[in-house]
């Protein structure tokens, strides 16, 4: 009986400890999110929610105009664009304290993010323009775009925009502008890849996968997307498998090498090259 009681006490202690750890993690995540929003740099066309404690007539939503300023009661027009939320909050508090209120309590938050944005194009489910909120990461914006499609390649290209206001495809950027990250790293690789921060004007480009072609005695002839490590056997599986009438011992792979088509003899475990054509001939008997 004493052993059972001791076991229950240990279980309760473990449960309480796990709960405290979980609460701590939630608190840390909330603190990180709050810090990200506080560090957000206000831009033109953002809409701010400004609250002044015990002064409902001053509290409300204020849009930052194209010149980067906004008009606030009592203090007039003041600069907003280029300041963090906390810096703007501090400036407004100082202005209100200069002859209007004693120790005013001011809180500023983002109502609508309109000034900073990133572009997501290519093989994603919902391509488009997305508001850049806080320290948004590469994996977060891909999640907002509905993740990659089945026809996506095995890497993501981040093209730094340096504040440009339109999507820029890789051909127009330099090597220093482009960061390549594999999808495997994003899904479960190093934290540095998953937490790669985005900047205003960045373009996230997900190229479509390269394809190979399968013809002959397979269930579903056609073209199939492949990754860099896809094997011939895996491609045949994508094509529904080889029919009983297929001659596996005479399988042909046609590949373009130095601009010329060549017929190669390969093993089923070998990798394919983009543009390969795999032909499964019919058996003689």
pLDDT score of 70 more than 90: yes
- Residues of the chain with pLDDT > 90: what percent? 45
- Coil, helix or strand for 118? strand
pTM for the model: 0.61
Neighbours of 200 (CB within 10 A): 16
C-alpha 221/C-alpha 139 separation (Å) is 35
Q: Is the per-residue pLDDT at 281 higher than 60?
A: yes
Q: Where is mean pLDDT largest: 18-22, 86-90, 130-134?
A: 86-90
220 or 187, higher pLDDT: 220
Residue 83: predicted pLDDT: 93
Pairing verdict, β 277-280 and 210-216? parallel
Asked if residue 263 has pLDDT above 80, the reply is yes
Confidence of residue 13 (pLDDT cuts 50, 70, 90): very low
Is the pLDDT at 165 greater than 60, yes or no? no
Distance CA 248, CA 238 (A): 16
Whether 75 contacts 99, CB under 8 Å: no
């Amino acid at each position: 009986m004493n052993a059972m009681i001791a076991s229950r006490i240990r279980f309760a202690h473990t449960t309480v400890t796990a709960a405290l750890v979980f609460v701590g993690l939630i608190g840390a995540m909330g603190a990180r999110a709050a810090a990200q929003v506080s560090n957000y740099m206000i831009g033109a066309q953002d809409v701010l929610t400004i609250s002044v404690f015990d002064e409902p007539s001053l509290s409300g939503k204020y849009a930052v105009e194209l010149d980067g300023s906004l008009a606030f009661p009592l203090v007039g027009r003041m600069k907003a664009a280029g300041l963090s939320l906390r810096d703007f909050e501090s400036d407004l508090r100082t202005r209100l304290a200069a002859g209007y209120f004693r120790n005013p309590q001011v809180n500023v938050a983002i109502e609508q993010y309109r000034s900073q944005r990133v572009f997501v194009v290519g093989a994603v489910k919902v391509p488009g323009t997305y508001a850049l909120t806080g320290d948004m990461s590469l994996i977060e914006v891909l999640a907002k775009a509905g993740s990659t499609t089945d026809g996506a390649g095995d890497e993501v290209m981040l093209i730094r925009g340096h504040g440009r206001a339109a999507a820029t495809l890789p051909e127009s950027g330099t090597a220093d502008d482009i960061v390549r990250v594999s999808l495997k790293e994003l899904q479960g690789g190093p934290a540095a890849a998953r937490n790669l921060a985005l900047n205003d004007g960045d373009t996230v480009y997900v190229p479509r996968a390269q394809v190979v072609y399968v013809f002959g005695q397979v269930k579903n002839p056609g073209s199939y997307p492949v990754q860099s490590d896809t094997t011939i056997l895996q491609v045949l599986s994508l094509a529904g498998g080889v029919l009983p009438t297929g001659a596996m011992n005479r399988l042909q792979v046609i590949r373009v090498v130095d601009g010329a088509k060549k017929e190669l003899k390969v093993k089923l475990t070998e990798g394919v090259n983009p543009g390969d054509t795999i032909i499964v001939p019919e058996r003689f008997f």
